[in-house]
Structures are given as C-alpha cells and as structure tokens.
Amino acid sequence: MLPAIPDLRQLRYFVTVAEEKHFGRAAARLSMTQPPLSQAIRALEETLGVELFARTKRSVELTPVGADLLPEVQRLLASAEGLKPLAQSLARGEAGALSLAFVSTADYGLLPLLLRDFGARHPRVRLELTEATSDVQIDELVAGRIDAGLVIAPLPSRHATQLSWLPIAREPLVIAMSTDMAERMGSAAGSKADPHAEWLDTPISLRDVADEPLVIFPRRLAPGFYDIIMDCYGVAGLAPRVGQEAIQMQTIVSLVSAGMGVALVPQSLRNLRRTGVVYRPLSESVPAIETGLVWRTAEVSPVLAGFIEIVRAHAGTMEAQFAAPRV
C-alpha cells in the first residue's frame, strides 16, 4: 500500500490558515465553511504525522514544525502553479533542452551563426553541445543519446529510414600548408605574395604538393569526406602519400603548421587562424564538402523543430558565404 501524501488543496488550506491565524477568516477567504476547513487541516496533520497549529479557543498559532514547514509549502505551491505555463512553453518549443553534436569543421562556419540565431529566438532553451566526428554522432543519434547533429555527408545508407537529413552548406576544399612551404613555393615561382598571409588567392595545383605527406583523418570517421579527398588525387592521376592521421581538424591544422605535410580542408577552416598555416585554393575542379543537420525522423520535439526551422532559414545562404573568398 502506497503511503498517503498531502494534496495541493490541503497545502493551500494550510498556507491560508497560517497567514490568517484564524480558521473563520481563512474559511471566508477560501469561500468555504469552517468545519470542512478544520477537518482538512486535521487530515493533513494526520498524513504528515505532526501538529501544524497550536489551537486555543482564542488563537491559532503555528507550531515550530508548522513555522519551519510553511516556506517549503509556499515554494512547492509556487512551483505547482508554474507547471501550466511551463508545459505550454515546452509545447511551443520556448523552453526545454536541445542536445546537439557537431563536427569540428562546423565550429568555424555554421555553428556560431546557427547558435546565435537560435539563442536569440529561444533564450530559455538549454543547449547541450558536444563536438564529435560524423560516425560517433550517427551512433549517438540512433541510440537516442543526442537530439541532432551537424555532420558531413553522406549518411550511412543503413540508417536511411531512421534519420532525416537537411543539407545546409557546400564548400570547396582548399590546401592547408605551412608558411615555410608557401615561402619556398613562392620563391621558386618568383611570386611576390606574402607567404605569411592567412589566405592566398593564387590557386595551386595538387601536383605541386603531390610529394608532400598528406595529413588526414582515419577513413572510419567520415568515409564520404575521406573518399572525396582521395578522389581529388585520383582524378589528378596522383597517389597520395598519407603521413600523419588525426581525429580533429584543429589537430590536422596544427600538424600542418609544424611542417608535417599538407591537408585538404573545407574552406571554412580559414577561420581557424593558426600561426604558421596558409590556405590556398586548388586550381583543379574538386567536389564540394556538404555539411547538414541530421536527426531521428520519428522524434522531433518542439525545441528541435524550432532549431530545424532556423537551419532551413540559413541553408540557402550558407553556400554563397563559403564560396566567396576572404582576403
């Protein structure tokens, strides 16, 4: 048998009597007669196993236990009264939580813009952000541990019926190289461009760096992205010489700055201002890298629906932003 617990009606009666210190005035305030009010207070005391009021013929005073309990009951009632507006806010997506994962490349282009607009429209939503590779995000989504993710296409075909995909932006690959390498290449070509500039407009052919080690991530992390990079070499008739492997783009760029090789990275990585690294466009025609939002088709909360709406609003403008070089 479950233990008896007070109901909200009894608790409201207790607070009213405590404030009035008189059963008659409390009953009038509650629009009821005194006998049922007295009975309700007795029932509450029996349920709690304590006396809440010291009663005499002339006065009603809180016992020490009742005085200590009063502010707790008032907080409890205030919380209960807030349940309806909170539930309505949750239903409208104005409150709640959103668990969002993102690939490291999104941190330098997509993510700040999306979070800024979402935070402005939904300031009461608590965001839980996790940086993760595409493969980890898909596993976390399928397991129900995150609500959505910003990943690099394509999605694994085995999850096509479970997940929805919204493409946001396509951006070209560029070459990341050390400033020392850029200086050597510029000297050989008689270029007067500043090799220490973060972005050089002059395109470079993949053949010019074909002998340099390629710094890249393991294929299992993002097979589609990995294959695009390898195809760039294949189409040019080149065989890449894989040097170092790293999981995060920040690490890849750091290895490039240390002279460990070159890397093919999305153009938005230019926003990662790492000392000792220069980014240059490729002269070859290369496929674009597509980043998008993925979520479980069958589970779209009001909060997630609001985030998807913001992503849709930006999806048509991001590609143009990435395509325009910044000098």
Residue 320 has what pLDDT? 47
Same domain, 274 and 193: yes
Residue 105 has what pLDDT? 86
Same domain, 179 and 283: yes
Same domain, 192 and 133: no
Is residue 115 in some structural domain? Answer: yes
Is residue 96 in some structural domain? Answer: no
CA dihedral sign, ordered 295, 300, 306, 310 = positive
Q: Side chain identity at 101, as an amino acid letter? A: A
Same domain, 149 and 186: no
**Any idea what the CATH number is for the domain that residue 181 is in?**
3.40.190.10
Residue 187 has what pLDDT? 56
Is residue 117 in some structural domain? Answer: yes
Buried residues in 241-265 as b, exposed as e (16+ CB within 10 A): eeebebebbbebbbbbbeebbbbbb
Same domain, 66 and 116: no
Residue 297 has what pLDDT? 95
Same domain, 264 and 232: yes
Residue 327 has what pLDDT? 34
**pLDDT < 70 positions in the chain:** 1-4, 86, 89-90, 93, 95, 187-200, 316, 318-327
Contacts 24+ apart (CB under 8 A), 248-257: 248/104, 248/131, 249/104, 249/105, 249/217, 250/104, 250/274, 252/176, 252/215, 252/216, 252/217, 253/176, 253/277, 255/215, 256/176, 256/177, 256/178, 256/215, 257/178
Over residues 223-258, the pLDDT tens digits come to 888 999 999 999 999 999 999 999 888 899 999 999
Same domain, 156 and 130: yes
Same domain, 281 and 184: yes
Is residue 246 in some structural domain? Answer: yes
Same domain, 69 and 152: no
The domain total for the chain is: 3
Looking at residue 151, the DSSP 8-state letter turns out to be E
Same domain, 162 and 142: yes
**Any idea what the CATH number is for the domain that residue 54 is in?**
1.10.10.10
Dihedral (C-alpha) 305, 307, 313, 317: value to the nearest 10 degrees?
-140
Same domain, 191 and 282: yes
Residue 165 has what pLDDT? 95
Residue 226, domain extent: 173-287
Is residue 1 in some structural domain? Answer: no
